[in-house]
Structure 1
């Protein structure tokens, strides 16, 4: 029995050594492939530990930048933990401080904890099956400005049973506090510092599954969005959305969203203050919305459908603006 135990332990140790070298080689090859494509893809150290049951990989001084999309990420470290006997289950851990650059700006992220659990399909190109992310005391600051903060962020994604590229997505932020710059911009005097609710529950169908190619090549594009409920509550202001949109190859939506807004006039004034819409357009919109709200019996609350067609957004038969292009860069 002792000999059998020793042999089994030796075989397992050998498996872990071979496996850890394979994991390290796979990561190194992936970074080499990105650099060959013109990326900035660097780290100062790549270490694999976790014997005997895990492959715990730590990247130090990590930098990833895709010149094609203009997205970049920089972190002092990043950890990926995988069970040696269940390699399709991954735990990711982010540092307290990191930098994300988009085509338009740069953002500093800080958190007390940020980690995710991700399960992929076995023997696939890391095709996403489900994932959960939790971040505590999260702060997101645009470079040169103060931060938008929240005490916690929860996000979950799960591919629907029997579907290849249909995902259920849930998102919730606790005690979301807009930055003082945003509050000043929208003239939010009298509103509390934090929102009492900020959440979304939706299903999104993509043109292909989310897998490793979403990082290496291009992002899967949405083809259908079913908003079960998205809502935000900020003091006496309440906004909720529900509905379904189909999206063509160009990112143009078609369908209907039902919008419910409480104290909508204040929201309209905030949009004008933020220069999201012009004062003239806001006046025209307010005239029509006044009539609709009055017919519904509550002048402070709107419950209206918005139709998306012909690249426009319609309120009844009246176009009120251009429809947004829903494409992921």
Structure 2
């Protein structure tokens, strides 16, 4: 009988070699790199924060030296890692000619890598002060601004207020508006040493005792001002008066593209004109205006003591003689003149 052959033993399979340590280390390399990047960016952010503090302090010192009142109770700069959030409490700024701004809380935010674009909000409202009229407290559902191109003249600035209310402070003169559904102000740099200003008020209400209130008390008010500024590079000086005087001496003007006020049934509009400022801060120049329901507005202004009765009667007669409502409105030597009738002092900036 044949002998059975014994099958050969199977070739042993070697055990897999254990993972080497460097393979495990590779798992941690991305985290280490991320940590180093975070540490480096944190150092950069801290440096940017320090530079922001130094810039704010230096600018405040320059303004104080020029006669401004600049103060705040507290200042915080946060926003790590990618933002720069600057929050002031009890901020106060007042320039030598008397214009002032104060806010219980003002917050500004920008990306840390784009400090030329700031978003600003005053959730608790603010107060602005007029040189002769006194303070006006402003509150609203939305009070915000956007500031870009800060190195240009003028910078790009947009201010927006929604459901805004205005209240004159104790002893202050009445402000023309009591409230407005929407208020906008836009300032833009332009070519050829120009700048643009657009100001709008939508669905406003006049305040009792004010000039607009005498014409359309309790009735809707709308305002628009659209103009081009020339010679904006001449706006240089320590305060508003010096800048305005330098601009005026250089031949700076407002080229009016559209301007108008509607208060109740009366309205005044202009589609063209050129205005400037004289050495005393009064508006100067002329506008070609169109007036609607002007005679009745003159009667209302005379009753409120805003225009001398004899001037109001003369202006009403001039407007009645022009059924189309087209008249020249002139600002000269500190006076406002409609046709040949002197009505009131010209608007004064400082």
TM-score using structure 2 length? 0.76
Equivalent in the alignment of 2:233: 208
1:112 to partner: Cα distance: 1.9
Max Rg structure? 2
1:20 corresponds, among 33, 45, 49, to 49
Equivalent in the alignment of 2:100: 72
User: Mean Cα displacement is larger for which, 198-207 or 80-89?
Assistant: 198-207
Equivalent in the alignment of 1:182: 210
Secondary structure in 1 matching 2:102 = strand
C-alpha contact 2:211 2:306 (8 A) present in aligned 1: no
How many residues were matched structurally? 310
CA distance in 1, matches of 2:240, 2:333: 33
CA distance in 1, matches of 2:211, 2:284: 33
RMSD: 3.3
1:305 corresponds, among 318, 324, 328, to 328
CA distance in 2, matches of 1:127, 1:230: 23
1:292 to partner: Cα distance: 2.6
C-alpha contact 2:275 2:286 (8 A) present in aligned 1: no
1:31-87 deviation digits (Å, cap 9, x = unpaired): 344445554322222111111222111111222233x32233322121222221111
User: Mean Cα displacement is larger for which, 276-285 or 140-149?
Assistant: 140-149
1:200 to partner: Cα distance: 2.1
1:254 to partner: Cα distance: 6.1
User: Mean Cα displacement is larger for which, 224-233 or 97-106?
Assistant: 97-106
TM-score using structure 1 length? 0.80
Equivalent in the alignment of 2:163: 137
C-alpha contact 2:254 2:274 (8 A) present in aligned 1: yes
Equivalent in the alignment of 1:128: 154
Secondary structure in 1 matching 2:75 = strand
Alignment gaps of 5+ in structure 2? 1-28
CA distance in 2, matches of 1:216, 1:285: 34
2:292 corresponds, among 259, 262, 270, to 262
C-alpha contact 2:328 2:338 (8 A) present in aligned 1: yes
1:315 to partner: Cα distance: 5.7
Equivalent in the alignment of 2:301: 271
Pairing 1:292–2:322 present: yes
CA distance in 2, matches of 1:100, 1:138: 14
C-alpha contact 1:199 1:231 (8 A) present in aligned 2: yes
CA distance in 2, matches of 1:102, 1:85: 37
Secondary structure in 2 matching 1:70 = coil
Pairing 1:45–2:70 present: no
1:177 to partner: Cα distance: 0.5
Task: Flag the 1:44–1:319 CA change in 2: closer, same or farther, 3 A.
Answer: closer
CA distance in 1, matches of 2:135, 2:189: 31
1:84 corresponds, among 73, 94, 112, to 112
1:198 corresponds, among 223, 244, 261, to 223
C-alpha contact 2:201 2:224 (8 A) present in aligned 1: yes
Task: Flag the 1:88–1:248 CA change in 2: closer, same or farther, 3 A.
Answer: same
Task: Flag the 1:209–1:113 CA change in 2: closer, same or farther, 3 A.
Answer: farther
Secondary structure in 1 matching 2:233 = coil
CA distance in 1, matches of 2:93, 2:299: 41
C-alpha contact 2:153 2:233 (8 A) present in aligned 1: no
C-alpha contact 2:288 2:326 (8 A) present in aligned 1: yes
C-alpha contact 1:101 1:107 (8 A) present in aligned 2: yes
Secondary structure in 2 matching 1:208 = helix
